[in-house]
A and B are shown apart, each in its own frame.
Chain A
């Protein structure tokens, strides 16, 4: 075949039903196969472009290996970390740097060795559903997945991962068997990463690495099940976005219910899509108050975030319509009223804290607010503006920690009535005693707004933080 064959190649296509099934988070095996084929195609196009810069010489070994064992070479270059290498290599070449292309020779050598069992893998089987994923804990390329990799696992650590994985798989097959099948088809490897002391657990997915999940050692099987569902969705969406632009303005910043910093529209879509299957998982656990809290919280967040996306392309509109059609019926499903109150509060709490952190009143607006307040005038029409965050933000929430304790039935206060975390106001608010919370919150704008049911932008209130009567200010701003 020649370049004529390349020019004759056909575009990737998806049926309308397949695109809609992807949007709904319910792709069948053939649709996932099409995505995987497109990712192999991507890696081959990257090789084509690398050869266009360095010439075909460095690929000679690999081409020969492919002639001898085409299936094995295809398998190796379809792997997620090969995609990471190829993209990184081409970026270096385009930037005038001189990347090491000997990786291609390494792949050719690996292809000539009879296939062996991977050094480390995680395997599980439950009710006839089986899964095998490689554990990649030594490849230097894993550093490019976005999180600091953990050192190679020792036997005891691997055994611990396996125990958690076995239980996570049982949970997934029992709760969401169709999602478990998708996960087993997409997931190729797990890359253990170092835990983040500021987070309960951390995980990441790279658009260059379809089917790889970088994840810290999970706290328990449920955390692993949820983390794998979540990251698999990111991989699938990355593959869809390789094929189709879904947003005309993907960089437009806005509110994401899953992050404390402003996020681009593409990131908001990723959040909604990842949490679609996470929400579906929690939905099945109707007797567990914590699970119901997660379900109630995220069904609303997914629906709002997806429904709020603007500037969708035609393919994006089709995809997001399917996503929202999947989640919206869940909004009507019954949840215990107490749990529903806490879920709604948690979402509103996050939104208000996000506003307080990321939206700001300019100096002229701030002066006008102060002047009007002191003059006893009506609230002036002052607005705020979004400021991009310099880096990812992560803010601990004592109210959320207390909510989790409350739902677990754990105490919120110590032997002398002191809060185990947060403030007296937080404890009162989580217990549903809004009046006590209002009395107890001295200087927490968001806490006061929540407990008092005020409809106030907290960043406007924050301009008047030096003033004494906060409830009067909130009343004035309402």
Chain B
């Protein structure tokens, strides 16, 4: 679920559908690339993700790429 709020901990927190791979090396991420099982994101209560959550994350990333929208351009409010 995107933006699920978890209120069971000491402080409420918002859990993203996007997986944190910032701790993985490029070698780890690319050396054994395999297809990830499909299906909707599973609700992970303990924080660990599974193949479904990863698949959901990658689908969401693909959707963002497919619908990038226009760059947000604004005019300065110079007077």
Contact = CB atoms under 8 A, between A and B. Distances in A.
Interface string A374-408: 00000000000000000010100000000010001
A222 interface: yes
Most chain B CB within a 10 A radius of its CB, from A11, A55, A67, A90: A11
Nearest to A58: B30
Which of A37, A44, A94, A202 gathers most chain B CB within 10 Å?
A: A44
B74 A258 contact: yes
Given A45-B57, A201-B78, A227-B76, A19 B14 contact: yes
Contacts of B79: 222, 290, 294, 404, 408
A11 B65 contact: no
17 contacts: A1-B25, A11-B17, A11-B18, A11-B20, A37-B20, A38-B16, A41-B18, A41-B19, A59-B30, A67-B27, A77-B26, A91-B65, A202-B73, A207-B71, A218-B78, A234-B74, A294-B77
Contact of B48 (A6, A8, A12, A17): A8
Contact of B20 (A9, A15, A59, A244): A9
B26 A63 contact: yes
B4 to A, nearest CB: 8
Interface string A45-61: 11111011001100100
A19 B14 CA distance: 8
A45 B19 contact: yes
Interface in A225-272: 226-227, 230-231, 234, 238, 242-246, 258, 264, 266-267, 270-271
A418 to B, nearest CB: 23
B65 A3 contact: no
Interface string B63-75: 0111011111111
